[in-house]
A and B are shown apart, each in its own frame.
Chain A
Amino acid sequence: MKPFDFAVAESIEGTMTALADGWRPKAGGIDLLDRLKERTEESDKFVSILRVDECGKGVEAGADAIRVGALTTLREISENADLGKHASAFAQACGSAATPQLRAVATLGGNLCQRPRCWYFRQEAFPCLKKGGGTCFAVDGENHFHALFGGGPCHIVHPSNAAPPLIAMDATIEIRKGAEMRSVPAAEFFVLPSKNLMAENILGPDELITGVTIPRNVVKSAWVDVKQRQSYDWPLAACAVARVGGKWNVILAGVAPIPWRARKAEEVLAGADALSDELAASAAEAALDGAEPMAHNAWRLAIVKAAVRRALLKADGRSTESA
């Protein structure tokens, strides 16, 4: 492992000063530890933010919205009854990530900000674009699990389970810089590699996610992921859907460098009051619009389709068959 300096923040002011001084935040440390071991993490100064309440402790149930602190663990989210009822997709997605051991430690903020799991990015031996090199090795290599949508010049898929449901539910992400707070729609938080190769979101180095806010006007929502292995695996494709007010949001996961809005699917669903099997199937078909499969990953399109259809029916309270 790469050697590093480690500090524990005791106050929000201390935390923000440390970030401004070039320290990187460490919460659950799950992804960070991997990157340190792989020697793919550039920084060597880390500050634990776990002791600072203002960095995002707790779940607050308001009348119009639920605020979830960034330090809330995936397990706490998956077991929270209020979230289970009013933000089902979010609770389900967090409960399906990783393993029980990891969910007990991994935080919401970390899940949103984790780096991609691309197997070229993760190995020192491959100097890929995202590491400042000159090649995306996936283009001519083993791209079976790479992007189906929105790829190029780097073809990662975004690994967060928590983000797609948040976007589907029109949630906002709360960002702190110094003493300033701002709030951005979750849908605007992530950026494609064509905009910024070196980062997957808009968060500045001196900024910190402190929480997310989920409006209460989510009527129904659901998450469906499809994994090869049922214990500890990344989805081959997944889908978060939510009906917010009178509109369906359909966000694909694990198929694009950012959580991917299936616009055509949303258009197909727009205006319909009831969700028939046929409508769900047409929306699923439409979700493939704009797909740009690589040499070895077109087989995952069928899985995307299944995930979208099943997520819609699941949100609608209908049972679907799956292995």
Chain B
Amino acid sequence: MNIDNRVAIENDKARVDARPKVTGAAKFTADIQMKNMMYAAFLRFPYGSGELIEADVEAAKSVPGVIEVEVTAPRKAGYVGANIGYVAGESRRAVQDGLAALKPKFRRGEARSHAADFSEGPAKLSEGDQARMDALFSKGAAVVQATYSTQVQTHSALETHGGVVDHRGDSAEVWGSTQGTFAYLDGIAGACELDASKVVVHNEFVGGGFGAKFGPDAEGTLAARLSMKHKRPCRVMLNRFEEHLDAGNRPGSIQHMKIAAAKDGKLLGGTIHIEGVVGYRKGGGDATNPALYEFGNVVKSGSEITLNAGRPRAFRAPGWPQGVFAVESMMDELAAKLGMDPVAFRLLNEKSARRRKQLEIGAEIFGWNRRKPDGTWPGVVKHGFGVAGAEWPTWPTKAGADIDLFRSGKVEVRAGVQDIGTGTMTVVADVAAYELGIPREMIVPRVGNSTFPEGPGSGGSQVTRSVAPAIMDAAKQIREQLTELVQEKWDGAKVSYAKGVFSEQGGSRSLKWEEACSLMSGQKLTASGRIKQEYIREGISDGVQFFEVAVDTETGVVRVVKVVAIQSVGRAVNRLMLENQICGGVTQGISYALFEDRWLDGPTGGMVNPNLEFYKIAGAKDIPEIIPIIDATPEDTGVRPVGEPCTIPPAGAIANAVANAIGARVRSIPITPQRVLEALATKGARS
């Protein structure tokens, strides 16, 4: 079946918004300043649990510039960062001084801070399951029982959560740092007590969002309420401290696995019990395990460990990076026990034919044959090699786009979807340029505005695949309208169009794009496109990544040396944007595997690293050579999700590479010098 949303395959033009972004001309929500604007900020509970016992509300109210204080003491709090009131004022300074003047006194309660203290170990099986599993394990040539744990990772988008709301009585203008224009519209209209038709959300530029930035949340809602009440614009942006504590995170996990494989290398099955490490109440802690491979007969169970801390929210490929870290670690442990090469072992058990191909090709490009047996690399600094895979589904979503074609030949494309930094604006221009057959420079792409046609939020890596067909649909209509004008001029002659030129079929007449456009009697032609049912099809994006690391066995420091990342993308739209998404996913995965960690103080439950100094994110010097390989699969259905799958494999691949390097396994991420040294010491004690 020929599904024709395949576009611009060799396009590699730079992003359309590169210049405004590097010059600062791009205005983010955090940049919005309005006349007569007021500010507000929350009071946050600094410990794991306890109570606000007193706060000097009168002192806060008397601070010059403070407009409103909403703090009630005593008040119980159940997690670090809990929002326990707010101060509103004329300026940021007034708000901060107001918060300081509260001189809040807290009573600290018992805090649940460290997940390991509350782990109950593998699940107790029912008698029947136990008997079944015992029989299975007795058949295994290799049986590995291991516990893998992953940390809590905070989203840490560069632009924090927040919004600016200008409530004008019967309408409202809103700026939101959101990855879902229309989810934000829905939430903010409710908070403003207005119909959505009376509210405009602007989010043309958004400084990142990884799954926790859809609706307006407490901050947008507060801005809306205050703006409505005081009849003036109000801005509420979280600071970095709040962003770490109360804006969502990837849950941690403790994954207990016992898996058997047969002598021929086939997985037989086993038990998997996931303890999700969540926030102050249960929910959201599952990890995607088993995954990727034909695991055989598996008994899976799960429970959750609550901590006195902020709760999980969707975070890039929710559930996957943590699950696949454990899955891929287990795969290598089994392969080692069977004496098999990790790639060969995966080829035997891989579910996806495409990933099998990627494994074979990738191994060659990467130079997998350089891999030595575990722990045998000579010298103090040992190199190791690891591999891991990823998959990500495509699911149906609706999207629309409008195109205006002006007499001058210039085009404006409007889509309400947001560009959170991924390059949506660029892709919108590229798709329209390709479909209209004109240079991209003639197109003004506009995104991130709720008055434009609706499209999906940036969740599940579905924006490009949803909006591209809508633009194509609109472009097709525009082409047809223009063709009709030409046909009219040529007295009904048959007209064909390609690459900016209309030609008479069987004749000699031709017209350039601009000449054809000048035939318009009015100023512009307009078309509305939408994604057609035929484009809405399910499918899988597959990826495999190979990692080489260097481990300093005296200091435990791990450096990633080289990465080959192969990713199936369906149809490639813009090569630079694609490579950028692949490298970005790998980078975030390296950061997760080696550095990022929400660190809670044991006794008090306070977060000791609510900043970007000790909440470590990979920096430029931590990023190696990354070779992105675009596995374009034109037999597939159009554009495929790319952003999220690429962030899934790094933790597992790095853990495997480290184990290969040092001959000892670190079963917890982040893989810190401390953990590497401890693994080496344990190995030394054993041998």
Contacts and interface: CB of A to CB of B under 8 A. Distances in A.
Contacts of A123: 46, 606, 608, 610
Interface string B33-56: 000000000000011000000000
A323 B609 contact: no
Contact of A302 (B46, B554, B594, B672): B554
Contacts of A3: 93, 97
B124 interface: no
Interface in B452-511: none
Contact of B595 (A126, A229, A303): A229
Contacts of A307: 555
Interface stretch (A134-142, A162-170, A258-266): A134-142
A232 interface: yes
Interface in A29-73: 39
A280 interface: no
B678 A299 contact: yes
B550 interface: yes
A92 B552 CA distance: 21
19 contacts: A1-B96, A119-B599, A123-B46, A137-B601, A141-B604, A144-B674, A228-B594, A228-B595, A229-B616, A230-B619, A299-B674, A299-B677, A302-B677, A303-B555, A305-B554, A321-B380, A322-B552, A323-B550, A323-B558
Contacts of B594: 228-229
Nearest to A305: B554
A307 B559 CA distance: 17
Contact of A231 (B554, B610, B620): B620
Interface of A: 1-3, 39, 99, 117, 119-120, 123-126, 137, 140-142, 144, 226-233, 236, 299-300, 302-303, 305-307, 321-323
Interface in B376-393: 379-381
Interface string B123-167: 000000000000000000000000000000000000000000000
The CB with the most chain B CB atoms within 10 A, among A99, A125, A141, A232, is that of: A125
Interface string B592-617: 00110001011110101110011010
Contacts of A303: 554-556, 673, 677
B618 A229 contact: yes
Contact of B555 (A1, A233, A236): A236
Interface string B621-661: 11000000000000000000000000000000000000000
Interface residues of B, number: 42
Interface in B83-136: 93, 96-97, 100
Contacts of B620: 231
Given A236-B673, A323-B559, A126 B606 contact: yes
A138 to B, nearest CB: 9
A53 B416 CA distance: 57
Contacts of A141: 601-604, 608
Given A126-B604, A231-B620, 16 more contacts: A3-B97, A117-B613, A126-B606, A140-B602, A140-B603, A226-B673, A228-B673, A230-B559, A230-B619, A231-B618, A236-B555, A299-B677, A300-B674, A303-B554, A306-B554, A307-B555
7 tightest A-B CB contacts, nearest first: A231-B619, A125-B46, A323-B552, A230-B621, A306-B554, A119-B608, A231-B621
Nearest to A119: B608
Nearest to A117: B613
B557 interface: yes
Contacts of B610: 123
Contacts of B601: 120, 137, 141-142
B551 interface: yes
Interface string B522-563: 000000000000000000000000000011101111110000
Given A137-B601, A141-B603, A322-B555, A229 B677 contact: no
A39 B100 contact: yes
- Chain A interface mostly helix, strand, loop or mixed? loop
Contacts of A232: 613, 619
A228 B616 contact: yes
B96 A306 contact: no
Interface in B562-612: 594-595, 599, 601-604, 606, 608-610
Interface of B: 46-47, 93, 96-97, 100, 379-381, 550-552, 554-559, 594-595, 599, 601-604, 606, 608-610, 613-614, 616, 618-622, 672-674, 677-678
A230 B591 CA distance: 12
Given A303-B556, A323-B550, A323-B555, A125 B673 contact: no
Contacts of B100: 2, 39
Contacts of A306: 552, 554-555
Contacts of B379: 321
A231 B622 contact: yes
Given A230-B621, A323-B550, A137 B381 contact: no
B469 to A, nearest CB: 40
A125 B77 CA distance: 15
A305 B553 CA distance: 12
Contacts of A230: 559, 619, 621-622
A120 B609 CA distance: 9
Nearest to A227: B557
A299 to B, nearest CB: 5
Contacts of B603: 137, 140-141
Given A227-B557, A228-B557, A306-B555, A323 B381 contact: yes
Contacts of A226: 552, 555, 557, 673
The CB with the most chain A CB atoms within 10 A, among B555, B608, B677, is that of: B555
B603 to A, nearest CB: 5
A137 B599 CA distance: 14
Contact of B381 (A117, A125, A126, A321): A321
A141 B47 CA distance: 13
Contact of B606 (A1, A125, A299, A302): A125
Contacts of A126: 604, 606
A55 B16 CA distance: 48
A320 B440 CA distance: 53
A323 to B, nearest CB: 4
Nearest to B108: A125
A322 B678 contact: no
A197 B394 CA distance: 59
Contacts of A302: 554-556, 677
A299 B677 CA distance: 7
A140 B606 CA distance: 13
A99 B612 CA distance: 13
The CB with the most chain A CB atoms within 10 A, among B552, B602, B674, is that of: B674
A299 B620 CA distance: 27
A3 B98 CA distance: 12
Contacts of B677: 299, 302-303
A142 B607 CA distance: 10
Contact of A299 (B554, B608, B614, B673): B673
A307 B555 CA distance: 9
A11 B630 CA distance: 62
A120 B600 CA distance: 11
B679 to A, nearest CB: 11
A302 B608 CA distance: 25
B654 to A, nearest CB: 13
Contacts of A323: 381, 550-552, 555, 557-559
Contacts of B554: 302-303, 305-306
Contacts of A124: 46
B602 A142 contact: yes
Contacts of A231: 618-622
Contact of A322 (B381, B614, B673): B381
A304 B550 CA distance: 20
Nearest to B99: A39
A117 B100 CA distance: 23
A2 B530 CA distance: 52
Contacts of B609: 119
A119 to B, nearest CB: 4
Nearest to A310: B554
A112 to B, nearest CB: 20
